[in-house]
Chain A
Amino acid sequence: MTTRYVIVGNGAAGATAAQSIRAHDADADIQIVGAEKHAFYSRPGLAYYLTGQLPEGALFSRSDKELDRAHIKRTVGRVASVDPRAHRIELADGKAMRYDRLLLGVGAKAVRPEVEGIELEGVVTLDSLDDARLILKIARRSKRAVVVGGGITALELAEGLAANGVATRYLMRGDRYWASVLDERESALVEERLGHDGVVLHRNTELAQVIGHKHRMTAVETKDGERFEADMLAVAVGTQVRLELAKEIGLATGRGIFTDDTLVTSEPDIYAAGDAAEVLDPVTGRRSVDSLWSVAIAQGRVAGANMAGGSESCMPRPAPFNVTKLGGVTTTLIGAVGAGGRDGDLIALSRGDSSAWRDQLDGFAVDSDSGANHLRLILSEDRILGAVVMGDQSLSRQLLEVIRDRLDIRDVRDRLLAGQAEVREALTLVLDRVAYAV
């Protein structure tokens, strides 16, 4: 008998799960339901669409034709309700679908700080292609903008607006950028580059209210009473999982939708993956949330396999990893890199972020710089726990392998402590030892 699969959400986790199900079940009836009318596009790519490095059409990486070839159906609509007993969902337009297995890949959405005027026209967030279109539309008629928030998205917004010729101020609540993940030197590197791009930084400055005329914003006011005239306010203070549906079904939730390591929720036959999932590690007993493309793809693959009858685990959790441009500097973050600072700019996890980066494992950091490049390694007695690589990326591939595979570094530890000049050879030694042992 044909098994019916319904996937809610056409993001990285949902689309990958659909293809994974097809790979495991040739006869499956697969249906993706998503609120966005667009075909699958690269959400991280929106940053380059904002800066003008990419036209909109280039963002669509998996066409509907590709879905057709795999006999995967896609419906545009909002899920209004789910009846887990009857295995049935109903869309807002009244259309109903039955499922044998359901995946919630519903993602997360940007939160807005609770200040007066935050709903005025001109206040924007960046979740989707439609958001990016709106930002560009408003930017075209804007002279001045203010950005508040932290993490990668705040930078993308500041750089995107500056690239469109909008005079941009970035208000930081603390005294430096992304203090919970980056150390002082790393924050300084990013801030320097932002200044180069024409973004004006304001430290220890907190948004108090948005001021407007009729429906449109005209200025922001800070807690110190300073007023900045602005046509736009871009907000990136963090994201929260879209939990409405999970709560309506009665699933166990926390920051995200609780799942075990096979991505099953508290309800059999309902799975969750990607930004929406808060996954339990059965060994450590800890739950984690990520907002990372690579994690969403990996979880989509596992969820799809398991929905089709498999029993794969997405644990042990691979070292969370992201590579991105921070203020124009290519930066790779791997594993536990938490710098221990408090980040007042983010009230929740931001996009491109992992809760594991904030982990303060029992290690200590070794910093080294050469020119515009920067490397920070977090070492324990026998392992590299995390790394931040800024600028030249030729070490990051090796580091990812050594951290992800938890390789023993005891015999090269002294060389890792000696700084960048010795790191490459030390890593090569560790990797070669493993390669020869196989």
Chain B
Amino acid sequence: MFGIRGSANRAQLDGGEGPATPSAPIAPASLIVRDVLKRKAMVSGRVVADAVRCVECGICTYNCPLGIDVRKHVRQAIPISDHACLTCGECVARCPRGTLRFEESSVFTGEPGGSGKR
């Protein structure tokens, strides 16, 4: 329905910049769907990056409330799957170049993530 191959975008979840398709007034049902999706992304999501969009400006790292060096993960093409990451979305929302996005990860299937903080 949205995103690409199972990925969810914070702007869409928050209704930030709005969907690309012409939008009718938002119905309460879709608000609930959005909320559910947002919570789902926060619980089961992880932050991944499109390194080619990154210019290493550091806004992500600077705004991470936990001090994770998000920029370094991006440069090394590693998902921000640090166990400390809250998936709060600060870095996703603040990146001026749309480098970061949420991606669903299956925590129960033992999918390999990154090796944590570097």
**A interface residues with partner B (beta carbon < 8 Å):** 42-45, 48, 53-55, 58-62, 293-294, 321, 323-325, 330, 332, 370-373, 375, 391-398, 400, 420-421, 423-424, 428
A392 touches B11 (CB 8 A): yes
Which listed residue (B20, B58, B96) contacts A420, Cβ 8 A?
B20
Which applies to chain A's interface (DSSP): helix, strand, loop or mixed?
mixed
B62 touches A55 (CB 8 A): yes
B21 touches A61 (CB 8 A): no
A to B contact number (C-beta, < 8 Å)? 99
Given contacts A61-B71, A372-B17, 5 further A-B contacts (CB under 8 A): A48-B57, A373-B17, A394-B12, A396-B98, A398-B4
Within 8 A of A (CB), among B83-116: 96-98
Of the 9-residue stretches B28-36, B38-46, B48-56, which lies at the interface with chain A? B48-56
Most buried by B among A55, A60, A393: A393
Q: How far does the Cβ of A293 sit from chain B's closest Cβ, in whole Å?
A: 5
Given A294-B52, A392-B20, verify A58-B98 contact (CB < 8 Å).
no
A58 touches B17 (CB 8 A): no
In angstroms, Cα B12 to Cα A176, docked, is: 31
A373 touches B58 (CB 8 A): no
Which listed residue (A42, A58, A325, A371) contacts B18, Cβ 8 A?
A371
Please indicate the chain B residues that have their CB under 8 angstroms from the CB of A321 in the complex.
52
Which listed residue (B20, B23, B52, B58) contacts A54, Cβ 8 A?
B58
Pick 5 A–B contacts, CB within 8 A, sort by A: A293-B56, A324-B97, A330-B17, A372-B17, A393-B17
Q: Does B65 contact A (CB under 8 A)?
A: no
Which listed residue (B2, B52, B97) contacts A394, Cβ 8 A?
B2
B52 touches A44 (CB 8 A): no
Q: How far does the Cβ of B10 sit from chain A's closest Cβ, in whole Å?
A: 11
In angstroms, Cα B18 to Cα A373, docked, is: 9
Most buried by B among A330, A332, A372: A330
